[in-house]
Structure 1
Amino acid sequence: MREPTPKLYDFVDPADGECVRRETEEILREFFPDYEGVIFRNAFEDVEKLFFGLYPGYRASNTKYHDFEHTCSVVLATVRLIYGALVDGESFAEEECLKGILAALFHDVGLIQTADDTMGTGAKYTVGHEERSIMFMRSILDGVMSRDDQDDIADCIRCTILAMSPSKVAFASENIRTMGYFLGSADLLAQIADRYYLEKLFLLFEEFQEARIPGYDSAMDLLAKTSTFYQEVVRIRLDKEFLRVDRYMELYFSNRRGVDKDLYSEAIDRNLSYLESILSGDIDDLEGVLSRFRRGSIPTYTI
């Protein structure tokens, strides 16, 4: 009997924050034996509390697409790219890797509302939330890391601004630039490779509506434009603006997991192929499309 083909979620489930934290620290410790991890562990705990409404002065996260699982998935994809690059012979200091991972951890906290902000959801901050994320990061790391270190983390976070070229960011060093490219790539890869990406697009549309993001008239319109978005926006950003650092993902899986494949790329191809099959035929209404999802519709989405 043939062994089942490994899939992305067979190794670490980003819904399990503790599992993501352990994988991150194991990777850092593999390359940096003296790694202590206090800064990352404390920051991880603070961000987890923030998302779940346990951090003083803040409401719980209420953006259903950009939730704590998404943050964990981006942290995981970022550290996997770092691992692959280190295996390939790239030279990064422990502190540089830590900055890249911390940037992934903090990159979306700007979508979380303060306790006295009770209007709508954090989705209203979609445009510009990165600078809010940077402000929160600075408040957490003040007295823990230097202002220059915080500036490096901030520059990495700015690589997740889809409407801005990373060439606009004045990185302090080429290694920090690469960390920013890792994060910017990880943010895209983690989303589109998500095993429930297609279903979650309905939740993303709800966020877009509240944020008044133009370009999508309906959830159906978002679905219909997703493949084009991947080919004409995501791939160009990955290949040209981030210099194909996603190529390091295959080295992570081959060296750490014994799988000679880029499982993110495979997961993305499956998602886009299945989306194409869903949209094919004569179904042109949202309810009909929802009925074709193998896993059913998102319960919290209202047609």
Structure 2
Amino acid sequence: MFPLVDTKDASAVAAFVRTKFSGMYPHASLVWLEAIFHDVVTLFSGQHPEYAAIDIGYHDLEHTLQATVCLTLILEGRHSARVEPHLNARQFELALSAGLLHDAGYLKLRSDTSGTCAKYTYCHVLRSCAFAATYLPTLGANDYEVEAVLGAINCTGPTKEVSRLHFREPVERIVGCALATADYLGQMAADDYPGELEILFREFKESDDFIHLPASRRAFKTAAELVERTPEFWVKFVQPKLESDFQALYRFLARPYPHGPNPYLEAVEKNIVKIKRRVAAARRGRPKK
């Protein structure tokens, strides 16, 4: 079955992660994971005293949960393969913290009443890091731990070259690559990905409008252009990043590892086929199926 858990259900995802964590680290406490899951759901749902609820349809809580599930499975696969350097329980907690907070930068303060959260697309990684830096110490994270989480979040920036980023320990770079991998595959493997691309375009457009980006510098002029270029984006941009920049950590999603099927790659490829068919149908002037 794919996906293994309903990513629209935050409680189900939290239970899924707890089960995987306890399987890998049977003597570790669940207190940290339970606290951060609770706080992130509170944050995105508008129950935080300072932040309004997320009000966009693509980079919503489900997107965060999709990335979190994928990240958990990558780390579980790597743990089972006994690859060095090994992640201890604390490093896993910090990795999941980065996953849960990597898009917190979309959220608006309650006092910010103009536009939607989409306007912060252009700087959401920076804002996510700023939020994490102020939030994590309240859970008890020290300065090195906060730095590790920020490093992982930074890896999710589409223009970031992970090889140029500084990390204190090799395992921190691995976590960053795992999160960046999960960020791409979590969304692109989702069953509704082909139908969500027009929503994604609207988020890009609002951000471009917000910062007065001239038309000549915009990545996409229309939603149709974004959809048409998605197969090329997968082949020429995402796949090379997964393979090289992100250390091919996607391979740890294979079940069984290393020669079993990779449900995420299979799901992405199916979505790319759907998108190509829709583009071809649109060019022929027929309704999308």
One-letter code aligned to 2:55 = N
The reply to whether residue 69 of structure 1 matches residue 73 of structure 2 is no
Aligned residue among 127, 134, 139 for 1:139: 134
Instruction: Note the alpha carbon deviations across 1:130-174, whole angstroms, 9 max, x for none.
Output: 121112112222141101100000000001001111112111100
Aligned residue among 77, 88, 91 for 1:93: 88
- Residue 284 of structure 1: CA displacement? 3.1
**Unaligned 5+ runs, structure 1:** 1-5, 294-303
Query: What residue is the counterpart of 1:3 in the other structure?
Result: none
> Alignment partner of 2:113: what SS?
coil
Query: What residue is the counterpart of 1:184 in the other structure?
Result: 180
- Structure 2 CA distance for aligned equivalents of residues 136 and 31 of structure 1: 29
One-letter code aligned to 1:267 = A
> Alignment partner of 1:280: what SS?
helix
TM-score by length of 1: 0.88
One-letter code aligned to 2:34 = R
The reply to whether residue 172 of structure 1 matches residue 168 of structure 2 is yes
Query: What residue is the counterpart of 2:105 in the other structure?
Result: 110
One-letter code aligned to 2:204 = F
Aligned residue among 19, 36, 39 for 1:26: 19
The reply to whether residue 210 of structure 1 matches residue 206 of structure 2 is yes
Instruction: Note the alpha carbon deviations across 1:26-74, whole angstroms, 9 max, x for none.
Output: 1111111112121121111111111111111111101210000000011
- Residue 246 of structure 1: CA displacement? 0.3
Is the CA contact (8 Å cut-off) linking 1:14 and 1:72 kept in structure 2?
Answer: yes
One-letter code aligned to 1:92 = L
**Unaligned 5+ runs, structure 2:** none
Query: What residue is the counterpart of 1:284 in the other structure?
Result: 283
- Residue 218 of structure 1: CA displacement? 0.7
How many residues align structurally?
277
- Structure 1 CA distance for aligned equivalents of residues 102 and 185 of structure 2: 15
- Structure 1 CA distance for aligned equivalents of residues 160 and 147 of structure 2: 18
- Structure 2 CA distance for aligned equivalents of residues 227 and 216 of structure 1: 14
TM-score by length of 2: 0.92
One-letter code aligned to 2:198 = F
Is the CA contact (8 Å cut-off) linking 1:43 and 1:140 kept in structure 2?
Answer: no
One-letter code aligned to 2:253 = M
- Structure 2 CA distance for aligned equivalents of residues 207 and 102 of structure 1: 25
Q: Within 5 Å, which residues of 2 pair with 1:189-204?
A: 189-204=185-200
Compare 74-83 and 26-35 and name the one that shifted more.
Answer: 26-35
Is the CA contact (8 Å cut-off) linking 1:77 and 1:189 kept in structure 2?
Answer: yes
Query: What residue is the counterpart of 1:12 in the other structure?
Result: 5
Identity %: 26
